[in-house]
Structure 1
Amino acid sequence: MSSPAADPLSPVLTPEGWELLNSLPPYDEEAAFGLNLRLREAGHPPDRVAAALTQSRLRAAARKKFGEFAGQMLFTHEGLQQSTRLPVAARHAQRFRTAGLDRVIDLGCGLGGDAMAAASLGLAVTAVEADERIAAAATMNLHPFPEAAVQHGTAEDFAVTFDLLGTGAPPGWGLWLDPARRDPHAAQDSASTGPSRLWDPESFSPPLSFVTALASTGTPMGVKLGPGLPHELIPADCEAEWVSVDGDLVEVVLWFNALARPGVRRAATLLPSDGATPVELISETDFGSGAQLEPEGRAGLSGVLHEPDPAVIRSGLVAELADSLDAHLLDEHIAYFCADEPVGDPAYRLSRQFRVLQVRPYNVKSLKAWVADSGVTSLEIKKRGVDVVPEQLRQQVLPKKRTKGPRHRATVVITRLGEERVFAVVEPL
């Protein structure tokens, strides 16, 4: 196994390093140590070998986000973590094209994932990156796209050069920002793989106040932020779109001016990785002022239980989804709801559905007794609104010794209905 290079980029940003990297076989963790030795014995400097093997490993990991493009790209550990998945980036780019824009200014382009998607749609792209090494990597990543050019510099300096905070962007321009949300100078613990995450939007680079100042000029803009951004920090004059891929919540994008859809304040967008049609839930109302449904409590915990997609939950659209499916909430503070019958395509993708088989009062003793009486040997525990650690609880309630015979799997949902804690035995649909 190769260890990460101290500098995973500089040694491969040379003709010799680039040639070595592209000559390597597909990455194999078990073969990496032997390959490392052979390359050093062949006369390659240790730092070049380490960097090339690190890039090879990162390229393999990046296939999930970038597909076949990953095989010709350069990465850093933290850059890959923050990079936009290609299908998501393509959706960003399509929004610019739909708005009739012809140039995207990517302020803080990182490794260039969003810039690649925009250029692939024929949009002219100016990609700006403050870190000189990352800018060099982005230049290599965008080399196949003549529509794109990379500039080394900060978003703030670019804004001053083109007076973006004064007159706004020229006609046809749209801005894309993905502020850096990790502190490269923070102390790292031994398990960390990159800079620590920042939570104060004014500590982002560039800060959220810079973003809102740009938006106030009327410039069409999209801003990618972490999906946990508190609702109270979201400006009033934008569309906030939470995006998930196969149930994995990946981002919230704030769309301003011509890139915001008329009448849309909140949106939850689900992108299936299999290429199926995206599913959306939108609302024109602000946070906390949408659909209001009376919860039905334990008596309503029957039929089909719905677990909304994380994008639906973070956008505050759980009640709207329940209302659209003629379903009822169990508790106004819990993101579960029930319907009489399952719902079909495409609405079913907005939530996971479970047939409710039985409901019982919850405590560890009662759940353990049910597990023993039912002969359960494998248990999936889902929970919401209760202080439960599923991994620990599973160890407490399952038999200590494996019994012979077939495994009996079950799924339970532990939740709170008012002041009462219950568990429901459910069957995934």
Structure 2
Amino acid sequence: MTTAEFIREYRERDIRQLALQANRFPDVDMPYALDQIQGWQIARRKLPKWAACDGVIFPPHLSMEQCSSEPTAQYKLNLAMEWAEKVGHAGRMTDLTGGFGVDFSFTSCAFAAATYVERNEQLCHIVEHNLPLLGLNNATVVCADAVEYLSTVEPQTMLFLDPARRDEHGAKTVMLADCTPDVVQLLPKLLEKSRFTMLKLSPMLDWHKAVDDLQGTVREVHIVSVGGECKELLLVLSTVVESELKVYCADLSTASDTSSLFVYTPGSSAPVANSTFNIQHSTFLHEPNASIMKAGCFDELAAAYGVSPVSRNSHLFLSDEPVEDFPGRSFVVERVTTMNKSELRKALVGIEKANIATRNFPLTVAELRKRLKIKDGGDVYIFATTTAEGEHLLLISRKYR
């Protein structure tokens, strides 16, 4: 059995079990085969189109874990197409930090020609092999340092950078100045060499500080979540287009759909007052999605959807009526209780398990669950929070949608 045949036949098996059976397959390059099987198994979940393409070579495990998923890569393609139209030019793009090439394979489709730049020679060979298999014939692969290449490149429609977010010891970094290459230092050259630049940054980064560090050149901030988890922070820089800064909070559900998108201009709304009505049965409770939580745009959200915050620090919102298309989850409050023992006992009758969340509350989820003696799971949701008046409440709810 050849190595390629082994990979095809055993790619759905547990790689740990396969490693123990290596002696049964003397003609198989087992380290390579296990890398490819593990890569394919990650791709099946993260990059189904790539997993379905015969012959694609997958990189070492770390590169697979760090690469974009299909939904986020598709989002970047859509963004690149919008901006190419905005600047009136879809000529050439260059990805200065190519990596495994997932983002490049998508964003390059928006342009007539594209260049992939990567200093890791092994990754360059892999990408050079994969691109034709993926039907990308407008691409050139260059093995070079991003900073050195940038100084020689002709002006582009788009430059794309995903700066490395690990230091020399392998520890994660989240400050813009600590990433490699240093985008702040490169800023004048990036603006000179592109009509617009797209930066992919750590979702842990403080986007307000990043916007300040980039000296008024950021036109759009995109905070992208998948499956309720904040995955990427994208910044679009340009001096060709002059416009007010806009922030896009996107929560993606599938490779091609945006389940919710909230767009706002920072500082466009006055602070919204805390909820003043009595929380009771049939009140609607709204929990923003992860992108909005990251953006911190709670006043803009309340103004746009006509909801009232429980308190300034709760990040939970209330309404008397259902709110269609709210960017997050909505619930119907069935019971409300304080932490008074007798009230709690009465409110929790018949509830053996529930999903618990704490927002601006003195106990952790684990501490509250222990006190309530309730198991995890089920279709009941308990939100523990503090009102503007300082009262600790449990909002016992069920999903509205």
Normalising TM by the smaller chain, what interval? 0.7 to 0.9
Residues 389 and 41 (structure 1), Cα distance of their counterparts in 2 relative to 1, 3 Å cut: same
So what's the TM-score if we normalise by structure 1?
0.79
Structure 1 partner of 2:58: 74
Q: Tell me if the contact between 1:293 and 1:328 (Cα under 8 Å) persists in the aligned partners.
A: yes
The root-mean-square deviation of aligned C-alpha atoms, in Å, is 3.0
1:15-414 equivalences in 2 (<5 Å): 19=4, 22-29=7-14, 32-33=15-16, 35-36=18-19, 39-44=22-27, 48-71=29-52, 72-98=56-82, 99=84, 100-121=89-110, 123-144=112-133, 145-162=136-153, 170=155, 172-183=156-167, 185-186=168-169, 195-217=170-192, 219=194, 220-230=196-206, 231-234=208-211, 235=214, 236-238=216-218, 239-257=220-238, 262-273=243-254, 275-277=256-258, 279-286=260-267, 290-296=269-275, 299=278, 303-344=283-324, 347-348=325-326, 350-362=327-339, 369=345, 373-398=348-373, 410-414=380-384
Q: Tell me if the contact between 2:35 and 2:61 (Cα under 8 Å) persists in the aligned partners.
A: no
Amino acid at match of 2:294: R
Amino acid at match of 1:360: T
Deviation of the 1:412 alpha carbon? 0.6
Residues 120 and 217 (structure 1), Cα distance of their counterparts in 2 relative to 1, 3 Å cut: closer
* Alpha-carbon separation, structure 2, partners of 1:37 and 1:203: 41
List gaps (5 residues or longer) in structure 2.
Answer: none
How many residue pairs align between the two structures? 381
The sequence identity of aligned pairs, in percent, is 22
Amino acid at match of 1:327: V
Structure 1 partner of 2:397: 426
Deviation of the 1:69 alpha carbon? 0.8
List gaps (5 residues or longer) in structure 1.
Answer: 1-15, 163-168, 187-194
Q: Tell me if the contact between 2:38 and 2:61 (Cα under 8 Å) persists in the aligned partners.
A: no
Amino acid at match of 1:417: T
So what's the TM-score if we normalise by structure 2?
0.84
Q: Deviations over 1:234-285 (max 9, x none)?
A: 2333111111123221111000117979444211122221744553222233
* Alpha-carbon separation, structure 2, partners of 1:242 and 1:408: 30
Deviation of the 1:389 alpha carbon? 2.9
Q: Tell me if the contact between 1:295 and 1:329 (Cα under 8 Å) persists in the aligned partners.
A: yes
Deviation of the 1:123 alpha carbon? 4.0
